[in-house]
Amino acid sequence: MTEPEVCVIGGGPAGLAAAIALRLAGASVILFEASQPPVDKACGEGLMPNTGAALSELGVRIGANEGYPFRGIRFVDRGVNAAAGFRGSNGLGVRRTLLHRALADRAAAVGVELCWNAKGVEIVDAGVLFRSRLFRPVLIVGADGLHSRVRRKHEMDQEPSSLRYGFRRHFAIAPWSDYVEIYCHRQRQIYITPVSSQQIGVALLTANPHERLADVLPLFPNLSERLRLANMISSERGSPTVMRTLKRVTKPGLALVGDASGSVDAITGEGIGLAVEQAIALGHAFRVGDLEMYERAHRHILAPSRLLGRTLLALSKSDSVQTAALRVAARCPMLCDAILAAYVRRRSSINETAGMESTTVSLPNPERLNSQS
């Protein structure tokens, strides 16, 4: 068995996307995931338009019947209704398990060695130890999520600046809107994502770890009424959601991607998109043998979402400010559309910048990855 150049630890969206991008950049890649596929997770399951574009760039295809397109985002707060539509491409609601399967299929198709149910992977000074085999890759990728052990092991951890909790369930009901709807009430949000023609995802975001969907639905009478007769078709899954920024996401021979590399609150609906964009940037950096390029690209990719996350969290802290902001937004739908369009454009331009950088060099020089500071 030949020695892989890259070991990816974690096979969620970030790890799989990074494995694909690095494989496309010419690396031999092995990926270790502790669970069996398809891996599920508490998630709002909304992919913004730029996420679809980034997935396509990696050759990841989601079938027409596997998701549900949405045209924009609508905020609902006690009768106030403010919507912003995308210009150009739609977003896509898609079950997490289907997304995982599409990523895993693509990773297998491009030749990534996939080790599922890989429990007990250890990072040691000499490399990566798994079932008594020592791997000495050129690059280790930490894609092991919010509580990354790879990050901790390398002393790159930072305290989150905000901590909340998300819980999601699915209901068998035809979507009543082709927008993702975000219902707001006192620092908590419920968001509704259409994920197929007969299913919606319902995700609660709250600062209270003991609160569950069933407890808070009565606070949203219109929504409760809609869901009253619909069957719940998945069990409740929960996960923390944090705002966290790291000082660095690389060390010689090591790169962090996805939630392991810092994250934004789930209200932004951006975690998966960020992970895929970071993966693409890491592939480009590997190709030219320069991890600093990834370090810079990562900062660039995360910045707009951090600003969005901070703004939305700040607004949600005061009911009156939030309602006032939504009232203004509801009166100026064109302004909302323009803000959302500018945001999506900014994200797309980030992807394009990363792509342009990569076209200037094509020869892999992975040896240099270990000599960056």
Ligand X SMILES: Cc1cc2nc3c(=O)[nH]c(=O)nc-3n(C[C@H](O)[C@H](O)[C@H](O)COP(=O)(O)OP(=O)(O)OC[C@H]3O[C@@H](n4cnc5c(N)ncnc54)[C@H](O)[C@@H]3O)c2cc1C
Task: Report if residue 35 touches ligand X, rule: CB under 6 A.
Answer: yes
Q: Where are the beta strands (DSSP E) in the chain?
A: 6-9, 29-32, 46-47, 67-70, 72-77, 80-85, 91-94, 113-115, 122-124, 127-130, 133-135, 139-142, 162-172, 180-185, 188-196, 199-206, 231-232, 237-243, 250-251, 254-256
Regarding 234 and contact with ligand X (CB under 6 A), the answer is no
Question: Looking at 32-40, 129-137, 151-159, 297-305, which segment touches ligand X (CB under 6 A)?
Answer: 32-40
CB closer to ligand X out of 9 and 55:
9
Q: Which two tokens stand for residue 148?
A: 């990354």
**Residue in 4, 15, 52, 309 binding ligand X, rule: CB under 6 A:** 15
150 burial level (CB within 10 Å; 0-12, 13-18, 19+): buried
Q: Could you tell me which stretch among 22-30, 43-51, 324-332, 345-353 binds ligand X (CB under 6 A)?
A: 43-51
Q: Which is nearer to ligand X, 146 or 341 (CB)?
A: 146
The residue (of 257 and 288) whose beta carbon lies closer to ligand X is 257
| Residues linked to residue 116 through DSSP beta bridges, in sequence order | none
Return the CA Rg of the chain. Answer: 20
Q: How far is the CB of 171 from ligand X (least distance, A)?
A: 16
Q: With respect to ligand X, which residue has the nearer C-beta, 54 or 288?
A: 54
120: its two tokens: 């007990």
Asked whether 129 and 1 are in contact (CB, 8 A), the reply is: no
312 binds ligand X (CB under 6 A): no
- Shortest distance (Å) from residue 41 CB to ligand X: 5
149 sits near ligand X (criterion: CB under 6 A) = yes
SS3 content of the chain, % helix, strand, coil (to 5): 40, 25, 35
Nearest distance from residue 169's CB to ligand X, in Å?
11
**CA nearest neighbour of 70 among 147, 173, 181, 159:** 181
User: Considering the rule CB under 6 A, would residue 70 count as an interface residue with ligand X?
Assistant: no
Work out the angle at residue 318's Cα, subtended by the Cα atoms of residues 313 and 319, and round it to the nearest 5 degrees. Answer: 110
* Contact flags string 199-218 toward ligand X, x per CB under 6 A: ----x---------------
Residue whose structure tokens are 């994200």: 347
Report in angstroms the alpha-carbon separations of 131 from 32, 120, 135, 172: 12, 8, 11, 42
The site map against ligand X for 256-295 (x = CB under 6 A) is --xxx--x--x--xxxxx-x--------------------
Binding mask 157-176 for ligand X (x = CB under 6 A): ---------x-x--------
Per CB under 6 A, the segment of 68-76, 142-150, 207-215, 357-365 that binds ligand X is 142-150
Q: Where are the alpha helices (DSSP H) in 239-373?
A: 271-288, 291-317, 319-331, 333-359
Is 144 a binding residue for ligand X by CB under 6 A? The answer is: yes
The verdict on 315 binding ligand X (CB under 6 A) reads no
Neighbours of 330 (CB within 10 A): 18
Q: Which residues bind ligand X (CB under 6 A)?
A: 9-15, 32-35, 39, 41-46, 118, 121, 143-146, 149, 166, 168, 203, 239, 241, 258-260, 263, 266, 269-273, 275
